[in-house]
Chain A
Amino acid sequence: RKEVEQDPGPFNVPEGATVAFNCTYSNSASQSFFWYRQDCRKEPKLLMSVYSSGNEDGRFTAQLNRASQYISLLIRDSKLSDSATYLCVVNGRNTGKLIFGQGTTLQVKP
């Protein structure tokens, strides 16, 4: 089983839609969780950290479910500019390392 798993998609949604991605992780002792955004052929950029209480940044909401070992990202009122690959990142069994999921691709259509 992979340490971090994501549905690669692609998720094709119309502008204005609400879309949600989940990411499961295998290390129950994980403490650090992030969502990064990666545009085509570019470097990943931090979208948001994920806190135990959940957190929101504008149209983006991240949630952590420790019992089921997954994190989620909700995007409301999707924009064309949201089209990208979203990487789920979790600290692995070796706590000095972050493990990156393969990413979920979102394509927002006009």
Chain B
Amino acid sequence: SQTIHQWPATLVQPVGSPLSLECTVEGTSNPNLYWYRQAAGRGLQLLFYSVGIGQISSEVPQNLSASRPQDRQFILSSKKLLLSDSGFYLCAWSARQGDQPQHFGDGTRLSIL
């Protein structure tokens, strides 16, 4: 069966510091991969999605970037964090073929001080 792992679960970072969040998927090949941010009491906002290695689409222009160095690895980065980057970051995957639902990891809660 497929599993998705995100780490770390919780992160506290100072303003201006860099960021690297990692997500890996097991048990499937060529997945679509997604990064979302969830603000309290609000729905999920899509940040980036990827249909293959090195292929990244950005949905919201901002302080963050994403990379996919391997088929089942998706990384969310920032060179300099802002206070507004605080939030709950979720990685998700879906099967490449057809219109398949997305499956989520357990997220990273990021607090910027």
Q: Do A and B bind each other?
A: no
Interface residues of B, Cβ cutoff 8 Å to A: none
